[in-house]
Structure 1
Amino acid sequence: MILVTGGTGLVGSHLLFQLVSEKTKVRAIYRREKTLARVKTVFAYYSDDAERLFDSIDWVAADINDIPALEQAFKGVTQVYHCAAFVSFEPDKYNQLRKINIKGTANIVNLSISHEIKKLCYVSSIAAIGQAMDANAFITEKTDWNPEKDNSVYAITKYGAELEVWRGTQEGINAVIVNPGIILGPGFWNGGGSSSLIKNIHKGLKHYPTGSSAYVDVWDTVKVMQLLMESTIKNERFIVISENRSFKSFQEQAAKALHIAPAQKKAGKLLLGIAWRLDWLNHKLFGRRRKLSKQMAKSISGKTLYDHSKIRKALNYSFRDLDDSIEKVCKIYLKDTENKPS
């Protein structure tokens, strides 16, 4: 039996589809029943038999900080894919991020130890990788994390979660950690992640940031995770990206696939500096949710280059062309938009 946490998220739902399509015995954790509809939506993208595939999953209602419920979920499990996480860059969400990302991961690790799980795969992020001193230097799995830097609250908690996994490897767990870039995939257009970025581009963005980041689609991410779990590789971490690309180039390619005009105005460091300060002021004066933190503004203004050679060599793996990934996601988005009731 394989256990998947975060099964109602982008990565988790696509992973579940792959596993049940291969007739693998799967148990998945969910917190709120209404989120199960997202999984059915994802399954329906790829199969006319989505309902049956969905029903083949052993669903368990459990929070990753609810130990008694997790104990039940772990019964008979031999492998764990830990995909559950809270994604936010809002500084005031730090305690919630710690509770879910660090404490929740510690719970999964502890139960994996006590139940003698054969292998654990943890879905981390490139945010938990260190930053290169030189903007033109490639960031690798060995790039040191610098706790003195002005890291985002999300990055801090994902790094803390990785430390819990490494602790588990010292206590007998075989584990692999994947550090994906920005994950492109369909079905979560209102979720605030990369899928919602496609929606925002379609609505019409006026500005593009001057920095760059690394991207990978959800299909490659899931495939790499499965291959790592099926391999003899253990106690290693891997950067999982298809390509490094500027935000301008990404927005242009997505706009092309969505048949709209791309953003024309540059959002430089000065403009973003003003924007995050106004965002902070709105939060303080009116209690509005943060949309742009200081750390995020800095991140999207800077150039970063990530090296994916380790995973390519380890699995002899070739990633999908990023333009093809963008095209595929945008095509599904447009179809969903056309089918949405008015």
Structure 2
Amino acid sequence: MHNDKIQNVLITGGSGFIGINLASALLKTGYKVKVLVRRTSNLKYLNNLNVEYRFGDLFNKDSLQQAIEDCDMVFHTAAVVAMWKGKEEQQYQTNVIGTRNIAEVALKSGIKKFIHTSSIATLGWKQDGLLIDENTQFNQNKNLTYNYTKFLAEKEILSYVDKGLPAVIVNPSIIIGPGDYNFHGGALIKRLKNKTIPFYFDGGINIAFIDDVVNGHINAAYYGKVGERYILGGHNLTIKEALYQIAEIIGVSPPHYKISTRLIKAISKFFDLYSTIFKTRPLISSDLAAYIGKNFWVNSEKAIKELNYKITPFDEAVRNTYNWYFQEGLI
């Protein structure tokens, strides 16, 4: 990667899982990294990095203008990631309106490259056995708020591409790795360790490693084509395969009982009510249950060819993630 022309980088969502790791990687290659954070952000994992804090939020364009000043490139990683009920309005405001605001300010500021962190959740379902790629059209239920708001965010970015914003979209899958202190992708590891996954069910997922996803972001800034999407995936696994392989790697017993798709979708309705009342993450939600019985498997070949994207072996990714949780006292 070359940084002879681009020196100053702004990361939105800098205190998040991707943001922390991205900041660290960019610093190691000599970039000056600014991170957009709120006064209430958890800065624990940023405080050890030589980053410059630029306080503001996605709803205040003046603060965005100040944050982006003297920056050549923006990595927009900020989003509300919640696959459960109770955060619909917050997700729309942050994921859609916030994206529109930062794109508008970036365009006016003459940013050289804008990397938008999207998700494979913006892509559509395919029949079992067929891999999802960048051309798979969104065909999901609009009630899946995270998926739909991230899809709308992509449309915002593409509308600004039409106006001249040099933006590239990256679509990571489920991510595990050091820095995931909120246990987004790492929830499977935590729950297996705590023995709170009593069963498995039909369906398939794709799990990527944070180092690979970060490198995909950085390479997208240099080799990605403006207006294009790039899936940053990892390993396609059935739910059973994922649980059994993770359990073996971290030394616990996997769940041995299979629950039917119909039953778990019914149970998810109860947990929806729970999360709506208590504003907390449930064991299972109807948003997550929508994936059950389907294989959400992706093809990362475009990123491999155009971005030199690499995929870390699954056992290595899980082991590194688990070791970090253990060292941090989180598991």
TM-score (norm 2): 0.91
Q: Is the 8 A contact 2:183 2:190 kept in 1?
A: no
Q: What is the Cα deviation at residue 252 of structure 1?
A: 1.6
Q: How far apart, in 1, do the equivalents of 2:224 and 2:278 lie?
A: 50
Deviation at 1:217, TM superposition (A): 0.7
- For 1:308 and 1:237, the matched residues in 2 are separated by 11
| Residue matched to 1:244 | 236
State which of 16, 22, 25 in structure 2 corresponds to 1:15: 22
The answer for the alignment partner of 1:92 in structure 2 is: 86
C-alpha contact (below 8 Å) 1:187/1:195 kept by paired residues: no
1:206-241 CA distance string (max 9 Å, x none):
112321111111100000111111226322101111
Letter in 2 for 1:143: T
Of residues 67-76 and 96-105 in structure 1, the stretch that sits farther from structure 2 once superposed is 67-76
Percent identity between the two aligned chains: 28
Aligned residue for 2:3? Answer: none
Q: Does the 8 A contact of 1:211 with 1:303 survive in 2?
A: yes
Deviation at 1:276, TM superposition (A): 1.1
From 106, 111, 117, the counterpart of 2:105 = 111
Give the secondary structure class of the aligned counterpart of 1:92.
coil
State the shift of 1:282 in Å.
4.1
Residues 124 and 180, structure 1, Cα contact 8 Å, conserved in 2: yes
Moved over 3 A (4+): 280-284, 286-290
| Residue of structure 2 in register with 1:201 after alignment | 192
Following the alignment from structure 2 to structure 1, what is the Cα–Cα distance between the partners of residues 62 and 110? Answer: 17
CA offset digits 1:249-291 (Å, max 9, x no partner): 112222222211111221321321221122245467x656462
The aligned residue for residue 45 of structure 1 is none
Change (3 A) 1:82 1:281: closer
Whichever residue aligns with residue 160 of structure 1, its letter is L
- Do structure 1's residue 144 and structure 2's residue 146 form an aligned pair? no
2: distance between equivalents of 1:283 and 1:5? 27
> Greater helix share, 1 or 2?
1
Q: Distance in 1 between matches of 2:192 and 2:299?
A: 27
Residue 237 of structure 2: SS of its match in structure 1?
strand
Question: Does the CA-based 8 Å contact 1:7-1:16 persist in structure 2?
Answer: yes
Which secondary structure state, in structure 2, belongs to the residue aligned with residue 91 of structure 1?
Answer: coil
Aligned 8 A contact 1:87 1:154 in 2 = yes
Tell me how far apart the structure 2 counterparts of residues 288 and 78 of structure 1 sit (CA, whole Å): 38
**Structure 2 match to 1:3:** 10
Aligned runs of 1:1-342 on 2, under 5 Å?
1-33=8-40, 35-40=42-47, 51=48, 54=49, 56-132=50-126, 134-146=127-139, 149=141, 152-189=144-181, 191-204=182-195, 205-231=197-223, 233-282=225-274, 289=280, 291=282, 292-337=284-329
Tell me how many residue pairs correspond in the alignment: 322
Amino acid at match of 1:168: Y
Whole-Å separation in 1 of the counterparts to 2:144 and 2:87? 11
Aligned to 2:69, the other structure's residue is in SS state: coil
- Code of the residue aligned with 1:7 in structure 2: it is G
Cα distance in 2 between the residues matched to 1:212 and 1:175: 31
1:203 Cα offset (Å): 0.4
Deviations 1:36-90 (A, max 9, x none): 10334xxxxxxxxxx3xx2x31111111112121111011111000000001123
Question: Aligned to 2:42, what secondary structure does the other structure show?
Answer: helix
Q: Secondary structure at the match of 1:222?
A: helix
Aligned pair in 2 of structure 1 residues 124, 34: CA closer, same or farther (>3 Å)?
A: closer
1:310, distance to aligned residue in structure 2 (A): 0.9
For residues 111-170 of structure 1, the C-alpha deviation after alignment (integer angstroms, 9 at most, x for no partner) is 0111011110011000001222x22221111111126x3551100000000011101110
Partner-residue secondary structure (3-state), 1:60: strand
CA deviation string 1:177-222 (max 9, x = no partner): 1111001112334x14112332222101211232111111110000
Change (3 A) 1:288 1:180: closer
Using the size of structure 1 for normalisation, the TM-score is 0.88
Q: Is the 8 A contact 1:180 1:240 kept in 2?
A: yes
Whole-angstrom distance in 2 between the partners of 1:177 and 1:288: 30
User: Helix, strand or coil for the counterpart of 1:245?
Assistant: strand
Give unmatched runs, 5+ long, in structure 2: 1-7
SS, match of residue 328 in structure 2: helix
Q: Distance in 1 between matches of 2:79 and 2:117?
A: 9
